[in-house]
Amino acid sequence: MTLDRPGQPDKPDKPGQPAMQPYGPTSEAQYRSALARTTPEVERVREGVWAIPLPLPRTGVVESTLCYALGDASGGVHLVDPGWDTDDNLARLETALTHAGFALHDIRSTVSTHAHPDHLGLGGRLQRERGVPLALHGSDHWAAGPPDRAHAEQALQRWGVPTEELEALRAVGQPGSSRPTFEPSVLLSDGDVLDIPGRRVRVIATPGHTAGSICLLDEGDALLFSGDHVLPIITPGLGLGGFGPEDDPIGAALDSYERMAAYDEVEVCPGHGYRFRGLAARAAELARRHRRRREEIAGLRREHPDASVWEIARRVSWTDGWGGLTPFLRRSALAQTELFLAHLERAGR
């Protein structure tokens, strides 16, 4: 998961600061942890539903992924967005499940809202070591193999990265480059219903963050597991896997945000941050932010028609300023800038 940090004059959506609107936190403990940038405790969301925070390696973006455990009618448990694959996270997961009345051998399936290692890592491990089926949208099947290092290197050259900056950006790798090798057991499509006895959890395709990004609607409990599509205090990056050269991740994301208006009554269970209400308002705000970024980059292209992606990106008003971005975030900023430029070109701008 990466972060596109909007810049001034907008109020920044940034870890450690509240969003422009509070978007109705429904977990005070998770909200406080998000502002303090700490990992929250395990929480019961509904009868048979638990939020299990699993820490991430230090990326400078977020501290943990919120994995959700859903109990079924036959005594099993199903995981949404199992976190980063570490021994510590597996131990944390086992402890949390024990507290909820389950064991690791009760896990019947895992499903990832998109193919990034902080959302599917332990799912791959549970599949390999315990035979637990792993479900993923078909458009994110690209993550099943090792990363394409040559493609990552070509991007650095295409962006016009100065020679003295190449080493630092190579070191952070391609977004998703530490993903495990695995083969999804189930490839999901829009409208599918997950095989969870006693629950009706429906797939909503929301391409943008990745080509196969999905949300999951638990119709009985009125919960929406939003992955990285809609987050309460972070503006997710777009186009981070699975899109082809002719695709338009920016346009796809804007369409996906509009789709959220139909589910405004649900409680949102995001992949990072805290549970909240106000889905339609938050999705609309994210769409506005991306449109503002699009207009800013369009203006920079008009002013500098022959500039490289690097030269455009370093002029964009990122929250921390170009100089304040870590190599991880700087690489994300370059990728986002290229996507916006391609989006503008398609529109004849």
- Residue 152 tokens read as 């990552």
- Residue 107 tokens read as 């896990």
Domains and CATH numbers, the chain: 28-147+173-283 (3.60.15.10)
* Bridging pattern class, strands 267-270 and 107-111: unpaired
Q: Confidence class of residue 1 from pLDDT cuts 50, 70 and 90?
A: very low
pLDDT score at 16: 37
Greater model confidence, 215 or 59? 215
Ranges of H-type helices in the chain: 28-36, 87-99, 117-130, 149-158, 163-172, 249-259, 279-303, 309-313, 327-346
Is the whole-model pTM more than 0.85? Answer: yes
Q: Confidence class of residue 128 from pLDDT cuts 50, 70 and 90?
A: very high
Task: Give every CB contact of residue 246 below 8 A, 6+ residues apart in sequence.
Answer: none
280-295 tens-digit pLDDT: 999 999 999 999 999 9
The answer to whether residue 25 scores a pLDDT higher than 70 is: yes
Averaged pLDDT score across all residues of the chain: 88
Closest CA to 319 of 57, 1, 36, 60: 60
The alpha carbon torsion through 298, 299, 303, 308 (nearest 10 deg) reads: -40
